């Protein structure tokens, strides 16, 4: 299984599908999108099959570190500096991307995530009108 070496550890990741790159941060069931995207699912630093830890006192840099890790994974997997989509429970990482000057496509999708209605509509497109999306 693939790992990406990062400063102070390694990130375990999987990719499935073909299409625009979709990075799923804490993306349970993300593989259901494989018919429309190249779905990237990974374990964040220090979780599950990834290694490396943040200093127990490094809370002020935690989001920056996770954003750096995600950006490194994007750079490793994509010949283009842009990622077409980012999704996941850790939407605050996307906000950190904005402050660090990470690719414009990532920033554009941050607005999509926050909109809620579009996120729910995406789930409905894939699973039908009875699907529910956590858009809060």
- Sheet strand arrangement including 38-42: 3-6, 9-16, 38-42, 21-25, 85-88
Q: What confidence category does residue 103 fall into, taking pLDDT thresholds of 50, 70 and 90?
A: low
The alpha carbon of residue 106 and the mean position of all alpha carbons in its chain are separated, in whole angstroms, by 10
Q: How far apart are CA 97 and CA 83, in angstroms?
A: 12
pTM surpassing 0.75?
A: no
Give the per-residue pLDDT at 101: 58
Task: Pick the more confident residue, 66 or 114.
Answer: 66
Could you tell me the residue ranges of all domains in the chain?
3-127
Q: How far apart are CA 75 and CA 69, in angstroms?
A: 10
Structure tokens, 21: 């790159």
What percent of the chain has pLDDT above 90?
9
Pick the CATH number of 3-127 from 3.40.50.1820, 3.40.640.10, 3.40.50.80, 3.60.15.10: 3.40.50.1820
Looking at the DSSP bridge assignments, the partners of residue 42 are: 13, 25
Task: Pick the more confident residue, 69 or 134.
Answer: 69
Number of neighbouring beta carbons within 10 Å of residue 87: 22
């Amino acid at each position: 299984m693939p790992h990406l070496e990062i400063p102070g550890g390694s990130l375990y990741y999987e990719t499935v599908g073909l299409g625009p790159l979709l990075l799923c941060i804490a993306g349970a069931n993300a593989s259901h999108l494989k018919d429309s995207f190249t779905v990237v699912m990974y374990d964040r630093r220090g979780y599950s099959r990834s290694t490396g830890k943040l200093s127990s006192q490094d809370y002020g840099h935690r989001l920056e570190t996770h954003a750096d890790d995600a950006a490194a994974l994007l750079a490793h997997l994509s010949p283009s500096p842009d990622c077409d989509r980012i999704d996941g429970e850790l939407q605050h990482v996307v906000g950190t991307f904005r402050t660090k000057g990470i690719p414009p496509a990532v920033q554009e999708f941050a607005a999509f995530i926050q909109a809620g209605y579009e996120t729910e509509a995406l789930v409905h497109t894939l699973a039908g009108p009875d699907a529910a999306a956590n858009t809060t």
